């Protein structure tokens, strides 16, 4: 384990869509050590859902493979790496465009990367065709005192 991190977790599971909820809940339980707000936790869970779903639907398509999640806690931040050894992404810039999808026959909106970027503080995509894709995301969790002060200021505004 890297000394820089306060805690670390690794999770691997088969690329079945029913495992997406398992991944989301597991990461949420890990993130809860930072004492996030319900909203911060929901953001993390949503981003994880999108990343895992991308691995299952796009990375492996109709084949079975392994989705891997590595999580790190560092001070007040969670860093997540979600990866597959699937087909990879031909052009990351095009794939990150809102509404772009390679699977228009599915009821998906092509907003996965956009959602991940908007719910997390950082999001990077690395991919090599034929070898797989890794998404690295991070989110800083506000200390409780800061969050409570902001809430109080919102309530006392004229």
* Among 20, 24, 40, 54, the one annotated catalytic: 54
- Annotated active-site residue 50? The verdict is yes
- Annotated active-site residue 108? The verdict is yes
The C-alpha atoms of residue 58 and residue 101 are separated, in whole angstroms, by: 9
- Annotated active-site residue 103? The verdict is no
* Among 6, 19, 77, 108, the one annotated catalytic: 108
- For tokens 């597959």, the residue is 84
3-state secondary structure at position 147: helix
Quick one: three-class SS letters along 24-87?
HHHHHHHHHHHCCCHHHHHHHHHHHHHHHHHHHHHHCCCCCCEEEEEEEEECCEEEEEEEECCC
Contact 46, 27 (CB under 8 A): no
* Among 20, 40, 50, 117, the one annotated catalytic: 50
Exposed / middle / buried, residue 17 (Cβ in 10 Å: 0-12, 13-18, 19+): exposed
Q: Which residues are catalytic?
A: 50, 54, 108
């Amino acid at each position: 384990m890297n000394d820089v991190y306060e805690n670390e977790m690794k999770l691997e599971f088969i690329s079945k869509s029913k495992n997406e909820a398992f991944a989301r809940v597991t990461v949420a339980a890990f993130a809860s050590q930072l004492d996030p707000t319900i909203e911060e936790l929901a953001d993390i869970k949503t981003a994880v859902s999108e990343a895992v779903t991308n691995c299952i639907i796009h990375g492996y398509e109709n084949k079975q493979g392994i989705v891997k999640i590595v999580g790190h806690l560092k001070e007040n931040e969670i860093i997540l790496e979600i990866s597959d050894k699937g087909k990879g992404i031909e052009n990351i810039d095009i794939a990150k465009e809102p509404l772009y999808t390679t699977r228009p026959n599915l009821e998906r909106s092509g907003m996965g990367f956009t959602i991940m970027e908007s719910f997390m503080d950082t999001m990077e995509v690395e991919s090599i065709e034929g070898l797989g894709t890794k998404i690295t995301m991070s989110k800083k969790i506000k200390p409780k005192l800061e969050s409570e002060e902001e809430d109080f200021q919102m309530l006392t505004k004229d």
